[in-house]
Amino acid sequence: MAGFTMSLNLLLLVAMVATNILSLYHLSSTTSFFQSTLKSSPSTVPTVPDHLLRQLHTIRSAINHLTTHHQPDKSTSTASAVSSSAPPKDLLLYSKLSPIASACHNYPDLLHEYMNYTPFSTCPSDTDRAEKLILRGCHPLPRRRCFSRTPRNPTDSKPESNVIWSYYSCKTFDCLTTKFPGLGFDLSLDKSKSQFSSYKSELDLPISQLLQIAKTANSVLRLGIDVGGGTGSFAAAMKARNVTVLTTTMNFNAPYSEAVALRGLVPLHVPLQQRLPVFDGVVDLVRCGRAVNRWIPVTVMEFFLFDLDRVLIGGGYLWLDRFFSKKVDLENVYAPMIGKLGYKKVKWVVANKVDSKHGEVFLTALLQKPVAR
């Protein structure tokens, strides 16, 4: 009996759907006829009655309701697929409050992983993911509503207690000093002073000589930027001479930013391809260390140099400290590019790289921006 009742209900449902479809076809044809006739002779043919249009709308709604009501599996699977691919809620919320860097949209998987966290709780341990996004041009990163991970004993006198070492292979500064002896992880001030006070070759520019050049030219050095400054050794040496230097750095497999901060200096966590977060014409000196070299694409390098020009004050200095490239590229590409700035060459020294196999050279250049254009 139950089977007979179910079959009867199914038959009635099919009949109702078929009737509605036929009615929909008839009314649609009628509507099309009225509209086409109206266009041909609008003065003689009346418009479609409102009650027919309302009936047509009712039938369409009934068919849509029946179709969706009797296909629960399809709708459920569709909703599940949409929810699984939907971006994190905080990403949608932040995008409404503040614009996101356009390059972020080119890496949706990384961006979704970065923003996929629990609000009002501890932030995920994802420093490496943040670095990857920044290096790909997703900068500034979207803000998050979570509590950043901080060292457990920030008041400890030992510098190691100010770093979360789980991110890195080395667990102490002594390990970093041994593993990377030339990268400045020896945080002593004496080491920083000696690094920029010696004169061993023509490529060297001791700080004392730099200050004397500025004094002779009646230039004042108050504020500088060290681009790709690593652990802040140059900024520390300049601080001892009452010159404030900001250090741009990234944490490539080591706590560079933390090392800069431990010296009482300011680390700017920005990549080379991004606009410097400094206003126009407020910096007296820009130093570019070995992070700035031929590995940077030529077009990016050109934009980079003009951004340095933007922040430099008239009469300020641009110091290229051991810029590395092939000699032929320096002569044909980089020297003409630098020449576009129209700076005065205070120092320009090119020296061959020791044991060079492909004609690589180093360039140390101190250039002075014109006081007026």
Q: Note the pLDDT tens digit of each residue in 64-104.
A: 544 444 444 444 444 344 344 677 888 888 777 777 788 88
Q: Give the separation between CA 4 and CA 12, rounded to whole angstroms.
A: 12
- Cα separations in angstroms, 370 against 26, 107, 220, 315, 336: 82, 41, 15, 5, 17
Compute the average pLDDT of residues 204-211.
95
Residue 13's pLDDT is 60
Cβ-in-10-Å burial (0-12, 13-18, 19+) of 96 comes to: exposed
Indicate the pTM of the whole model: 0.71
Domains within the chain, CATH numbers bracketed: 89-136 (no CATH), 186-369 (3.40.50.150)
**What is residue 351's predicted lDDT score, i.e. its pLDDT?**
95
* Dist CA 35 CA 48 (whole Å): 8
The answer to whether residue 175 scores a pLDDT higher than 80 is yes
187: confidence class by pLDDT, cuts 50, 70, 90: confident
pLDDT in tens, 260-285: 999 999 999 988 888 999 999 999 99
pLDDT the model gives residue 75: 42
Please give the pLDDT value at position 150. Answer: 82
Distances in whole angstroms, Cα of residue 161 to Cα of each of 35, 197, 252: 81, 30, 20
pLDDT tens digits along 292-349: 999 999 999 999 999 999 999 999 999 999 999 999 999 999 999 999 999 999 999 9
- Predicted confidence at residue 236, as pLDDT, reads 93
Buried b (16+ CB within 10 A) or exposed e, 37-48: eeeeeeeeeeeb
Q: For residue 290, what pLDDT band results from cuts at 50, 70 and 90?
A: confident
Q: Which long-range contacts (CB under 8 A, 24 or more apart) does 260-265 make?
A: 260/229, 260/231, 260/232, 260/235, 261/162, 262/159, 262/162, 262/187, 263/187, 263/192, 263/231, 263/232, 263/235, 263/236, 263/239, 264/239, 265/232, 265/235, 265/236, 265/239
CA distances from 98 to 87, 148, 244 (A): 16, 21, 32
CA 325 from chain center: how many Å?
Answer: 26
Q: What confidence score (pLDDT) does residue 367 get?
A: 98
Could you give the CA distance from residue 42 to residue 53 in angstroms, rounded to a whole number?
19
Give the pLDDT band of residue 55 (cuts 50, 70, 90): low
pLDDT of residue 160: 82
| Per-residue pLDDT, 311 | 97
